[in-house]
Amino acid sequence: MSIVYLLLYVILLFLEPINPCRVEECAAWFQKTKDYENLVPKATERYCQVLQTYLKCMNDTQRFCHGNLRFHSSELVMRRHWKEFECEKWESCNENQMGVKKKPVNTCYFNPPPSSRKLKYCSLFGDPHLIMFNGSIQTCSEEGARPLVDNRYFLVQVTNKNVRGEALTTTVTKVTVLIRKHNCTSSLHYEATSDEEGLPRGFVDGTTYQAKGSSSNSVEVLWQENNYVEIALHFIHSSIHIRRQGPYLSVSVKAPSIVLETEGDVANEMCWAGCRRRSRIAAETAVEEPKKFAECYRRRVHVPKKVAEDRCRNVGTSGTFFDACIFDLMFTGDDYLVHLSRNAQSDFRRLAPHHFQSQIIQQRVRQQQEHNRNLSLNSTQVFENCLPNSSYSFKSITYCSALLAIILILIPIL
């Protein structure tokens, strides 16, 4: 019997996990049908029929595809085709022929305004620093794309990249916002990258707002200035704020608790789950022990602590944002990040509920107390996951070079 269990265990190890998101299956069927019938994207009844089946397939699997960029981008393109080719007329003709009355259009209702106690706030800025919905503050170094917030109404995904060529130095270089189809809005896609001259003034399809069944806009891009954009989701009293300074981006999200509730797993959302444990950095200790931190992570101290403190104080940062400003300036020397900390502080004071601002102050006090306790620990306990010692690598290379030289000398003799 034990052998049977062992075999089952081995088989399970090699089984691939089932992905409930069927976006690949929908796309494969759509492509196969187009190829078989030689269909091309144009305003014909048959293409619209195939397109309708494809969109139904995508709609059926939608709840399993939160955070899947291919799903949202594909759906956005196909819905654009549906509108461009006026496929509704074929749908109407078929319904009239069958004697079926067209269903009434769903009405857009705005959510009632929430109390300030029900509002949540999250922000990611700098090198980077994360203020979570629960008030926790983290500094980390993550590369690649990851959802910041993901719910049934919208997705905010950030891409962190190493832009300086130094170890464990990452910042936000891309922000992707996907607004999901609702009675009050169609699917919308906004994308900002740090290598553009300024932030886009509208969504990818060129629109800047949505208005359905109401005199006021349900969703709109409020372009404040070249380096600041607000995406306002009025129908759910939520907003996404994106800023740019040089090659860096920052993003803040404000939304009611009821909007942020999701049936899915929030373990991958940064605003709920935080940075991955292996990427977290003890920023307070790094500022106090810059030499040990630099040795551990092979980073360079660009600006002395006293100079960084004076600069960050002069631009008006305080509290959590003062700490973030000092860390960024000391270990990057980049003044763009100083301004990003100041802007993040400005957004926080203007957008975050007062009770949450008090919570952040209390959280900073607790972190400083914990930091003081950690001062008695040695650097190997404070700084985890240190990179291999560069001196060891240098010695290894030296030994290898010496050994190779000896071999080359001995070859002619032998």
pLDDT one-digit tens code per residue, 212-223: 765 689 999 998
So what's the pLDDT on residue 202? Answer: 95
Q: Cβ(133)–Cβ(238) under 8 Å? A: no
pLDDT higher than 90, residue 40: no
Chain segment 94-123, per-residue pLDDT in tens: 545 444 444 444 678 888 888 888 999 999
So what's the pLDDT on residue 120? Answer: 96
pLDDT higher than 80, residue 382: no
pLDDT-above-90 percentage for the chain: 44
377 vs 120, which has greater pLDDT? 120
Half-sphere exposure of 393 (CA within 13 A, CB side): 5
pLDDT higher than 70, residue 133: yes
Number of H helices, E strands in the chain: 15, 13
286 vs 405, which has greater pLDDT? 286
What letter represents residue 284's amino acid?
A: E
So what's the pLDDT on residue 366? Answer: 78
Where do we find the tokens 């170094």?
141
The mean-pLDDT minimum among 15-19, 176-180, 205-209, 253-257 falls in 15-19
pLDDT higher than 90, residue 53: no
So what's the pLDDT on residue 93? Answer: 54
So what's the pLDDT on residue 298? Answer: 82
**Mean pLDDT, range 409-413, rounded to an integer:** 62
Chain segment 288-320, per-residue pLDDT in tens: 899 988 888 888 899 999 999 999 999 999 999
pLDDT higher than 80, residue 168: no
So what's the pLDDT on residue 400? Answer: 46
Chain segment 237-294, per-residue pLDDT in tens: 999 999 999 999 999 999 999 999 866 677 889 999 999 998 999 888 899 899 988 8
168 vs 140, which has greater pLDDT? 140
DSSP 113: P
So what's the pLDDT on residue 100? Answer: 45
CA 353 to chain centre: 22
CA distance 164 to 169: 7
So what's the pLDDT on residue 57? Answer: 83
So what's the pLDDT on residue 91? Answer: 66
So what's the pLDDT on residue 261? Answer: 81
pLDDT higher than 50, residue 26: yes
Helix axes 23-37, 45-60, angle to 10 degrees: 170
So what's the pLDDT on residue 263? Answer: 62
CA distance 104 to 293: 63
So what's the pLDDT on residue 301? Answer: 93
- Alpha-carbon dihedral sign for residues 319, 276, 245, 165: positive
- Say which CATH architecture domain 116-202+216-370 belongs to: 3-Layer(aba) Sandwich (3.40)
Annotate 20-41 with b (16+ C-beta within 10 A) or e (fewer): ebbbeebbeebeebbeeeebee
So what's the pLDDT on residue 21? Answer: 85
**Mean pLDDT, range 331-347, rounded to an integer:** 96
CA distance 2 to 5: 5
So what's the pLDDT on residue 44? Answer: 87
As annotated, the residues of the chain forming the CATH 3.40.1000.10 domain(s) are 116-202+216-370
- pLDDT-based confidence at 30, cuts 50/70/90? confident
169 vs 408, which has greater pLDDT? 169
So what's the pLDDT on residue 9? Answer: 44
CA dihedral 274, 279, 283, 287 (to 10 degrees): -170
Q: Cβ(262)–Cβ(152) under 8 Å? A: yes
* Mean pLDDT rounded to a whole number for the chain: 83
So what's the pLDDT on residue 124? Answer: 98
Where do we find the tokens 């595809």?
65
So what's the pLDDT on residue 388? Answer: 62
64 vs 4, which has greater pLDDT? 64
Q: Cβ(170)–Cβ(130) under 8 Å? A: no
Q: Cβ(120)–Cβ(133) under 8 Å? A: yes
